[in-house]
Every structure is written in C-alpha cells, then in structure tokens.
Amino acid sequence: MLRRLCRSKIHRATVTASQSEYEGSIEIDETLMKSAGLLEFEMVLVANVANGARFETYVIKGAKNSGVIGLRGAAARLGVPGDKLIIMSIGLMSEAEARKLKPRFIQVNHQNKVVDVRSVVKRGPIDASI
C-alpha cells in the first residue's frame, strides 16, 4: 500500500499575476521551486486562503528571484493578485518511506522571498504580516 503525504509546502505565497488566456498551470519563482524541491511540470495542490478554493495544477518555472506566483489558464479564475496561497507537493510512498519523511515547509514574506524553512508544522496563530 502507498501512503499519500505532504512532501513540501510553500506557505502564504502571494499571487502576483492572474492570466486566464493561457495554456494553464501555476508559475512559481525558480528559487521557491528549489527551496520546496519542486520540479517543473510536477502536480501540486493549491489552497487559496482568501476564498477557500482548492485546485490541482502543474508547476511551470518562473524567473529566478522574481517572486512570481502566477495563476494561468483555468486556475486564474480561482485567485487574483494579492491573494495568499498554500502550495503543496504530494508524494506517494511506502509505509517505510512515509515514516522517514522530513517534509519541507517554506514560509515566504509578502514578496515571496523565503524567510523560514522547517520540517515541522508551526503551532498557534500565523503571523499574517510576513
């Protein structure tokens, strides 16, 4: 049996662009992709903190250190610039792999720059000013 776990997460990324006339996906700054261990074309689960929308799409590489988080195609209908997103990478793994998993949780500021990397979920209130 395979288990489905959260392998990595970019927490509270700010949408910088939304373009519906596009082939579709989420564009993520290459630096953030590397921090979260994401590959181009990898499927991710996205949750929009502003409106509660959840959707799955694939990642396309944005310019390095640009801070871009762009919703493209149908995903553009689920968020607008300024919305906060949680972008999660899901991994399928064996029981043994799952028990050894050290997920990567990437906290970003309002410019989508990395401010913290950890392997545990933060408990308590979120600092929304970051």
pLDDT tens-digit series, residues 30-82: 999 999 999 999 999 999 999 999 999 999 999 999 999 999 999 999 999 99
Mean pLDDT across the chain, nearest whole number? 94
Architecture of domain 3-118: Beta Barrel (2.40)
Neighbouring CB atoms inside 10 A of 55's CB total 16
Residue 62 CA: distances (Å) to CA of 51, 55, 77, 93, 115: 24, 19, 20, 28, 19
Which positions are catalytic? 25, 58
57-72 as b/e: b if 16+ CB within 10 A: bebbbbeeebbbbbbb
